[in-house]
Amino acid sequence: MQHSHPVRPSGGAWAAGVVWACLPLFTCGLATPFTIGFAAFWLRSVFQVVAASVYLVCIGSFVMAAVAYDNVDEFPEPLGGLVTVGLLVSWLGGVIHSGVLVPVMVRARLRAPAHRQHHVDLHQRTTAPTFQRRPGEPEWIGHYRVLKSLGRGGQGSVYLAAAPNGVQVAVKVLHDLVDETARARFAREVDAARRVATFSTARVLDVNITGQHPYIVSEYVEGPSLEQLVRKYGPRDADSLTRLALSTAGALAAIHKAGIVHRDFKPSNVLIGHDGPRVIDFGIARALDQMTVTSGKMMGTPPYMSPEQLTGEAVGPASDVFSWAVTIMFAATGRPAFGEDTVPAVFNRVLTFHPDLSPLPPALRGIVGACLNKRPDERPSASDAMLAIIN
């Protein structure tokens, strides 16, 4: 099952390629050296340079021999036959040679680095930064050229990559999709994720579940995660917290409206872009949940997991709301509300402990406290949280 859409040249590009390949046909082979010479330049091929030179010498010799006589009837018999055969060979050989070169040149075009491609998104920077991959990192993932690693986690490895049109994207290579049932389920979950409104989320652009390493491609948000930001600069002030809470609650509302439960909402899955916070990795946790249950792995991050995730109850949108409240507490204090020491200790606090809400601005204390309710059916929805912040 293939969900990745191969990049194809435009109709105009193909038309130009066909006309270019037919030039030897239209010119009785006289344009053959020039078409092959252009291919040599495009492909940086010494072999094509030699071929173009051979064609040029042969055709040049035939033409000089032909113009030495005023009338075709004056050609000596052996020379006339050689000229005719030579022109026919150049004519047909040039057509065949050019026809073979067109697909070769198209493939080379699609493999070309982003800075050599002509069709670049006008909204992208005209000069791209230079990145260097670490040893062992892939050079290509599908038709995305890897620029550098962005990180590794339990679900997979994330890379900054260049799409065929030069746009920078985030490519996550997943480790746990080991059978066709898991891959099919993942494809369905990602199809749902692509329907999520994108005002506070990173768009899902592409997915490929074939091959040894399935991957998902999303919009690249240039900026640190909320976790990195808080670890480096400390807790957020009241205005920043309110903006963060409002935008992330809105993102969760959009995710839930699409029928998705994030299941791994945490500070590292909130990226702070130049235009505000963006939520990432929604839909992936549920897609991998089946594999983690059978393999014995834990799905989620302990300090941000809801009580129902720990007790094995049904996990729904209310679980994300609980994780959202813990994330807002982290942004306000610089530490998870239920600690981050041993897993049993964290789990015990999640199930029994009620954190101190005083570090939050007064406008957020009520709604965050309600979202931290141990009973999922008594928590407000993400939409309700958003409205409570506004009011």
Q: Check residue 49 and give its pLDDT.
A: 76
Distance CA 55, CA 60 (A): 8
- Three-state SS sequence of 218-259: EECCCCCEHHHHHHHHCCCCHHHHHHHHHHHHHHHHHHHHCC
Is residue 127 over pLDDT 60? no
Q: Check residue 119 and give its pLDDT.
A: 38
Is residue 288 over pLDDT 50? no
**Inter-residue contact 360 to 241 (CB < 8 Å):** yes
Q: Check residue 65 and give its pLDDT.
A: 67
Distance CA 186, CA 213 (A): 13
Q: For the chain, which domains are there? A: 11-112 (no CATH), 140-219 (3.30.200.20), 226-390 (1.10.510.10)
Residue 264's CB: how many other CB atoms inside 10 A? 26
At 58-110, the pLDDT tens digits run: 777 767 766 666 665 666 666 666 667 766 776 677 667 666 766 666 555 54
At 312-344, the pLDDT tens digits run: 898 999 999 999 999 999 999 999 999 988 999
Kindly state the tokens that stand for 364. Answer: 């957020």
Query: What average pLDDT does range 288-311 have in this prediction?
Result: 66
Say what percent of the chain tops pLDDT 70: 62
> Which position has the higher pLDDT, 36 or 105?
36
Give me the chain's average pLDDT, please.
77
What is the DSSP code (8-state) at residue 268?
Answer: G
Per-residue pLDDT band at 298 (split at 50, 70, 90): very low
Query: What average pLDDT does range 274-294 have in this prediction?
Result: 63
Say what percent of the chain tops pLDDT 90: 34
Is residue 30 over pLDDT 80? no
Q: Check residue 381 and give its pLDDT.
A: 97
Q: Check residue 352 and give its pLDDT.
A: 95
Q: Global pTM?
A: 0.60
Is residue 253 over pLDDT 80? yes
Distance CA 201, CA 278 (A): 4
Tell me whether residue 264 is one of the annotated catalytic residues.
Answer: yes
Which residues have a Cβ under 8 Å from the Cβ of 14 and sit 6 or more positions away?
none
Catalytic site residue from 121, 206, 239, 264: 264
Query: What average pLDDT does range 264-268 have in this prediction?
Result: 93
